[in-house]
Structure 1
Amino acid sequence: MKLIYAIIRYDNEDDVTTSLTKHKFSVTRLSTTGGFLKKGNTTLMIVTEPERVDEAIDIIKKECGHHQKITINMPYVSGSSMVHCATMPMSVDVGGATIFVVDVERYEKI
């Protein structure tokens, strides 16, 4: 068995899990946070047979395509109490997924 960890944007969570479930994959969702934009992410855990790993990854790729997002960094206070105002709009690549595939020594569904 293989365990797929897929870290995806929170915005893509429903589409990805719906599609994986439709294709008979068992999915566990964990809410996570991190990354450059400090936005909510979802980490999916998918256990499957080795021959279905590519199928699961293809579904994730289809639902989590890269696209551009315009974001504005909000003012913040540094450690020296100095206010930084970098409020210029900037284009950032969003979407996609970070995927890890690991071997599972033992798997039981009770």
Structure 2
Amino acid sequence: MKLIFSIVHDDDSYTVIEELNNSGYYVTKLCSTGSFLRTGNTTLLIGINDEELEPVLEIIKANSKRRTQYVQTTTHGALPGIFATVGTEVSVGGSTIFVINVEKMEKF
């Protein structure tokens, strides 16, 4: 048995969950916040049998896309007390996945 923790961008969470459900997998959704941009993420908990690992990972990978986003950052200017605001392009989205071995799982 495996427990998958998959952290996906909020924009991708609905599609990932829908595709997992359509393929017969149960998902528990937890709302979470990323520390880098402080934007919404969704953490998915998925309990599966060992042989289901690769199909589940493929579903997550196919439905969680990386994208670029512009964020405003403030930098120090050449003179004291002078600041400049610049746009910086960062990569967001995709998924971060942790797979843990589970000794036992029960549903009541």
Fold shared, TM-score > 0.5 on shorter chain: yes
1:93, CA displacement in angstroms? 0.5
Length-normalised TM-score, structure 1: 0.84
Q: Distance in 2 between matches of 1:92 and 1:33?
A: 17
**The structure with more radius of gyration:** 2
1:57, CA displacement in angstroms? 0.8
5+ unaligned residues in a row in structure 1: which ranges? 76-82
Length-normalised TM-score, structure 2: 0.86
Count of residue pairs brought into register by the alignment:
102
Determine the structure 2 residue equivalent to 1:96.
94
5+ unaligned residues in a row in structure 2: which ranges? 75-80
Q: Distance in 2 between matches of 1:97 and 1:38?
A: 16
43-52 or 85-94, which moves further after superposition?
85-94
Runs of 4 or more above 3 Å deviation: 83-86
Q: Distance in 2 between matches of 1:60 and 1:99?
A: 9
Determine the structure 2 residue equivalent to 1:13.
13
Determine the structure 2 residue equivalent to 1:50.
50
State the one-letter code of the partner of 1:98.
T
Pairwise mapping of residues 1-110 of structure 1 onto structure 2 (< 5 A)? 1-73=1-73, 87-110=85-108
Matched-pair identity in %:
38
